Chains A and B, each alone.
Chain A
């Protein structure tokens, strides 16, 4: 049975006093395991908030090392970290922030042949990647492992967020099957990934607390230049190659 130490009670007091979290909610957070895919602009912020909220176990994956050009937005990494693996840099900061959080650092690039092992027995996949191809890999893991995938993406002053729950909502592939996989490094201003990753983190916490009101069946679009923030409704794609009826037929034999 999960118990909270007096130090943990003190640390999480301001969220435990929220009706709907309390001791029971905090224990759910402590029992949860979250996979953070990528430790860039998005993963930096979701890493901090997952650790700070008291998520008991984080699996953090990134194959890259810290570069100067990361530092305008990837706030987990600091100037002395240049050249070291992002996982190592992240581990240092997140452990210092919350020693109660168990962290598994995976210094590997996420691919279709290793994704299942990297995600392991996580309850949720938090997207911190920077390209469509890796998101499709994460989405296929989400569908085959039957765990939620919380997508976030940024470009310039813009951001997009949506939560995908296998079997209940459209998946990432439903929406973006026909998107070409441009390998580009778009410009990004730091607060955009922070906004997007903060929303992703809130979604993860709500899923762990078994709350309703998730950002499912909708795309949240943030346009930072004029602060237009809106949601559009997304129906399931009956033709989806990943979660469509053909796939379900194949899975059910």
Chain B
């Protein structure tokens, strides 16, 4: 069985499988809103790297709605 780790998602503690990819976190925590941007430990992650960016214990991940009104 995969070991579980604790990370922070959108400011709340969550338990997820170790080494989970950002793309899997998106599936887990969102309803497929492709327009959200992803912050991982204070860094913007490009969609091309969602599959290859993996999280470690204590990491912070936020899904953010960018703003385009004026």
Contacts and interface: CB of A to CB of B under 8 A. Distances in A.
Interface of A: 38, 40-43, 127-132, 135, 152-155, 158-160, 175-176, 178-180, 182, 184-186, 188, 193, 219, 221, 232-235, 237, 239
A232 B43 contact: yes
Contacts of B44: 175, 219, 232-235
Interface residues of B, number: 17
A153 B68 contact: yes
A237 B46 contact: yes
Contact of A179 (B42, B43, B46, B66): B66
Interface stretch (B1-9, B19-27, B32-40, B51-59): B32-40
B68 A128 contact: no
B39 A153 contact: no
20 contacts: A38-B70, A41-B69, A41-B70, A42-B70, A130-B68, A130-B69, A131-B70, A135-B68, A152-B70, A153-B66, A153-B68, A154-B69, A155-B67, A158-B65, A186-B68, A193-B70, A221-B64, A232-B39, A234-B43, A239-B48
Nearest to A197: B70
A108 to B, nearest CB: 17
A160 B54 CA distance: 26
Given A131-B68, A175-B44, A234-B44, 7 more contacts: A127-B70, A153-B70, A154-B67, A155-B69, A159-B67, A160-B67, A179-B35
Contacts of A128: 70
B26 to A, nearest CB: 13
A159 B69 CA distance: 9
Contacts of B70: 38, 40-43, 127-131, 152-154, 193
Contacts of A131: 68, 70
B67 A153 contact: yes
A97 to B, nearest CB: 21
A159 B64 CA distance: 11
Nearest to A153: B67
A233 B67 contact: no
B13 interface: no
Contact of A180 (B34, B37, B43, B64): B34
B35 A233 contact: no
Contacts of A234: 43-44
A43 B46 CA distance: 29
A155 B64 CA distance: 12
Nearest to A152: B70
A10 B3 CA distance: 69
A43 B69 CA distance: 12
A179 B65 CA distance: 11
A175 B37 contact: yes
A155 B36 CA distance: 14
A155 B39 contact: no
Pairs of residues from A and B, 4 with the lowest C-beta to C-beta distance, nearest first: A130-B70, A153-B67, A155-B67, A186-B69
A154 B39 CA distance: 19
